[in-house]
Amino acid sequence: MSPEQEELFASVDALLEQVTADDGLPQPAERRRLRKAAGLSQEQVARALDVRRESVTSWEAGRSEPRPPKRAAYLRLLEGLAARHPEPPGAPELGESPASTASASTASATAASATAASATAASATAASATAAPAAPARVAPPPAAVRPAARGPEAAVPMGAARRPSPKKAAARPPAPAAHDPRFADGPLVVLDGDANAYCVGGLILDCPAKDIVSLVEWALDEARLGAERLHRSGKDADPLVVLTAAAAERLGLPAVLEDRRGLRLAEDHPAVRQITRAKWKLTRRGFGPWARVYRPAQSGQRRCVQFAVLPWGALDARAWGSAGQLPPAELARVLGAYATRVITPRGSTAVSGLELMTALRPPTRAVKDPHSGAWVSGPMPGSLTEPVDPAPPEAPDEHPVAAALHPRSHQRTPAEVLDEEAFDWIRDPQLLTDAECARPFAVGIDVNTAFLAAANRLIVGLGAAVRVAGPAFDKTVPGSWLIDLSGIEMDPRLPNPFTPDGTRPQGPAWYATPTVAYAHELVAAHGLPVDLAPLEGWLRPDSGSYLDPWYKRLSEAYKATMADLGIEPAMDEGEFLAAMETYKETDPSLAALLSAIKSTVKGGIGKLRERPQGAGYRPGERWPALERPTWRPDIRAAVISTARVNMHRKLVKTALASQQAPAPWGHLRFTDEALLPVALLSDCAVYFSDGPSPLDFLPRTAEGKPAPGTFRLGVSPGMVKHEGTQELLWAVKMLDEGHNPARHIKGTDAAIDGE
């Protein structure tokens, strides 16, 4: 935003603050509808207005009203949202099922557009900046002069949407999707069917006459107004995404199935690929596969690129997207559009999108002025990952050149040679089950909501290369890897050891990430354990910061907003929450698919930080393409997983302490027989034996009936827990006897297959 524009907005703000209480503030239900129509969360609105989220909740519930000067700013926001999202009769909100909603008439759409046009230009423009806290405002060039032709009014229009009218026949347009830049007025993406219909976000349908890939690329760039604003002022705008259904792929001359099952791409001599080459367009190294990019090199800073997702080739993996790939085009546009608005325009698998989101929110470079020439040049962005760095030797996977240079190929690295920070996969020895536990008839699983996402919150990670230090003094504020002996910390045998993924006690010095060593010091101090902790060596990163904080905030907002659309609100009490969670996926299967994709984005994005080599032609010791990006950082992945694992263990210990009557003896980590201890752990799921089938039947409470401090708490927010499943005691004991993990199957399916 230019200084002149900011000054004008400030003047408008001063006038708006003089508005009296009789200012036409919408009814509470309409306030909520407008916010949700724009894909904003209550927390985003609260941050923009500098109030608490609870205040926004009260305004939308009608329990209280905003007071000046917040009232004028809130009214301004709502007016801007109303200009973009007028309410056509029967139009569904994001959380509503379109099947239950009637289509809006063309007359209604026209009237709504006319009403929106009556809002003042200053209010509408200012609201754009307020309604998108994650995306800075920017001045955009005018849209392309050539517009796509429209089909006749006889065409069917689902979801209450109107087709784009011909410029010669109608002056009014259907409401634009939540785009604040006129270049992207038609939204971030389209889903193309076999009848030349391009379904956009918000129910708009465009006519796409393209009959081949090249003409489709040119249509998407020159006629359709597709794309999305950058998420950071120094980042890049999102390229248009064109999703091809099976019928659309056939119409464009693409095969129904890829013959190259290993490379997952069209052959170089396929007519579509040859046509792309002849037209001077390029493909990335991935070629034309399920996710393809067709582009021309940037000229004068202008990108010319279109992303394709080919559904019949498996672009939407069912493990991440559920049944989204089978949805009708209009409904799929709704789901993908919500993902694009709340997370990022999909650029590949959810894992790829999770990693791309990190870069979009924390670009590696920014424009800086050269002190000698005065010209603007590219410079590193403070707080970002700015260049690729090699891992420290213990952080490198076996096939990495750093590790391959130190050990022969057949060498099995020991814990003193490799960092092994992974999630829990532990079961208790059945011989250690107590009589009191075996008298409880149920095994109940609880699952931490987006555990890796919660672990990323405020996590300090290294931003640059590691420095080797001999005999360092431990500092929990310095990220890195530490060689230290934690085997002296003795744990109650009914609890997993927090320093190994399988819960067994370490046998000597081993490499650990900073959060693990910090937790070891915490246990020693809290319980008076007779252990001296002294690191032998460290690979430390003095240049550090909370790199993942914007990533955490955006994904947590997306997760909570989608859960709210499914009827799961933070204000629910525990009983209401458990009851709603039993059926929330049936509320709207499309939104359930969106929720699955958001959770998969979290896990996949963290996993991509240590992407391994792919392809049969790879040889250990060679570099692979992922190593050349700044976000190939196995140390950051290790720090997140380490934090998630010790967070889980900390709650296990607090739960055990809160459930036993006698205090734990000083100098030991042992518990009495009545202490509540888990029988199995799998990543973010813990299984306990219980007298009843609900988590409320065993989670410890205070005398006032509230959750005991530091223990597991039921709720929707990241880091809180939900009910994972319940089975009979004998089922769980049999699983333990056979060496299987009950946490993997507690909800009746395999958690790994379900993507958990």
**CB distance 625 to 134 below 8 Å:** no
Model confidence at 444: pLDDT above 90: yes
Domain-embedded: residue 439: no
515-527: average pLDDT: 97
CA distance 446 to 69: 44
Domain-embedded: residue 476: yes
Which pLDDT value is given to residue 139? 28
Domain-embedded: residue 252: yes
Q: Are residues 235 and 299 in the same domain?
A: yes
Model confidence at 149: pLDDT above 80: no
**CB distance 321 to 597 below 8 Å:** yes
What's the Rg (C-alpha) of the chain? 28
Model confidence at 260: pLDDT above 70: yes
For 546, the token pair is 């909370």
Tell me the residue range of the domain where 190 lies. 141-348
H or E element, residue 559: helix 549-565
**CB distance 253 to 272 below 8 Å:** yes
405-422: average pLDDT: 95
Beta strand 241-244 pairing with 302-310: parallel
Model confidence at 502: pLDDT above 80: yes
Model confidence at 231: pLDDT above 80: yes
Which pLDDT value is given to residue 754? 55
Nearest Cα residue to 494 out of 734, 677, 654: 677
Nearest Cα residue to 632 out of 381, 387, 290: 387
Contacts of 490 (CB under 8 A, 6+ apart): 505, 529, 668, 669
CA distance 623 to 619: 9
Model confidence at 163: pLDDT above 70: no
List residues bridging with 510 in a β-sheet. Answer: 484
Q: Are residues 403 and 503 in the same domain?
A: yes
H or E element, residue 509: strand 509-513
Q: Are residues 205 and 254 in the same domain?
A: yes
Model confidence at 748: pLDDT above 90: no
Q: Are residues 50 and 120 in the same domain?
A: yes
Which pLDDT value is given to residue 615? 80
Higher pLDDT, 111 or 191: 191
HSE, side-chain direction, 13 A CA sphere, residue 55? 15
Higher pLDDT, 544 or 665: 544
**CB distance 324 to 315 below 8 Å:** no
Model confidence at 158: pLDDT above 60: no
**CB distance 660 to 677 below 8 Å:** no
Q: Would you give the DSSP letter of residue 548?
A: T
List residues bridging with 686 in a β-sheet. Answer: 446, 681
Q: Are residues 113 and 160 in the same domain?
A: no
Nearest Cα residue to 437 out of 690, 248, 184, 207: 690
Domain-embedded: residue 618: no
**CB distance 625 to 377 below 8 Å:** no
Q: Are residues 343 and 399 in the same domain?
A: no
Q: Measure CA 108 to chain center.
A: 36
Q: Measure CA 84 to chain center.
A: 26
Domain-embedded: residue 329: yes
What is the band of 8 on the pLDDT scale with cuts at 50, 70, 90? low
Q: Are residues 112 and 145 in the same domain?
A: no
Which pLDDT value is given to residue 146? 33
* Least confidently predicted of 40-44, 323-327, 336-340, 715-719: 40-44
* Least confidently predicted of 249-258, 658-667, 713-722: 658-667
CA distance 472 to 504: 26
Write the DSSP string, 363-414.
-SEEEEE-TTT--EEEEEPTTS--S--PPPGGGS-TTSHHHHTTS-TT----
CA distance 275 to 269: 10
Model confidence at 166: pLDDT above 50: no
Model confidence at 527: pLDDT above 60: yes
Nearest Cα residue to 746 out of 664, 689, 668, 669: 689
Nearest Cα residue to 684 out of 653, 717, 658, 721: 721
Q: Would you give the DSSP letter of residue 263?
A: T
Q: Report the number of distinct structural domains present in the chain.
A: 3
**CB distance 471 to 751 below 8 Å:** no
Domain-embedded: residue 205: yes
Q: Are residues 119 and 168 in the same domain?
A: no
**CB distance 88 to 175 below 8 Å:** yes
Model confidence at 435: pLDDT above 70: yes
HSE, side-chain direction, 13 A CA sphere, residue 564? 23
Model confidence at 117: pLDDT above 60: no
Q: What is the pLDDT of residues 529-550, one digit of tens each?
A: 999 999 999 999 999 999 999 9
Q: Are residues 162 and 287 in the same domain?
A: yes
Helices 271-278 and 213-222 cross at an angle (nearest 10°) of 50
Model confidence at 749: pLDDT above 80: no
Q: What is the pLDDT of residues 463-482, one digit of tens each?
A: 999 999 999 999 999 999 99
Residue at which a domain ends, from 545, 579, 595: 545
722-746: average pLDDT: 97
CA distance 454 to 647: 9
Q: Which residue, chain included where needed, has tokens 């299987």?
A: 740
CA distance 355 to 460: 18
537-564: average pLDDT: 97
Which pLDDT value is given to residue 7? 56
Residue at which a domain ends, from 545, 564, 595: 545
**CB distance 387 to 634 below 8 Å:** no
Q: Are residues 209 and 336 in the same domain?
A: yes
Model confidence at 524: pLDDT above 90: yes
* Least confidently predicted of 29-33, 68-72, 647-651: 68-72
Higher pLDDT, 615 or 659: 659
**282 three-state secondary structure:** strand
Which pLDDT value is given to residue 498? 98
Domain-embedded: residue 599: no
**CB distance 517 to 482 below 8 Å:** yes
Which pLDDT value is given to residue 640? 98
Q: What is the pLDDT of residues 340-386, one digit of tens each?
A: 999 999 999 999 999 999 999 999 999 998 888 889 999 999 999 99
Domain-embedded: residue 651: no
Q: Would you give the DSSP letter of residue 678?
A: -
**CB distance 481 to 542 below 8 Å:** no
Q: Mean pLDDT in the chain? A: 86
**CB distance 130 to 80 below 8 Å:** yes
pTM, entire model: 0.78
What is the band of 58 on the pLDDT scale with cuts at 50, 70, 90? confident
* AA identity, residue 265: R
* AA identity, residue 269: D
Q: Are residues 194 and 338 in the same domain?
A: yes
Q: Are residues 121 and 229 in the same domain?
A: no
Model confidence at 172: pLDDT above 70: no
Q: What is the pLDDT of residues 679-695, one digit of tens each?
A: 999 999 999 999 999 99
Buried b (16+ CB within 10 A) or exposed e, 556-582: bbbbbbbbbbbbbbbebeeeebbebbe
Nearest Cα residue to 308 out of 230, 263, 254: 254
What is the band of 568 on the pLDDT scale with cuts at 50, 70, 90? very high
What is the band of 88 on the pLDDT scale with cuts at 50, 70, 90? low
Model confidence at 244: pLDDT above 60: yes
**CB distance 652 to 712 below 8 Å:** no
What is the band of 64 on the pLDDT scale with cuts at 50, 70, 90? confident
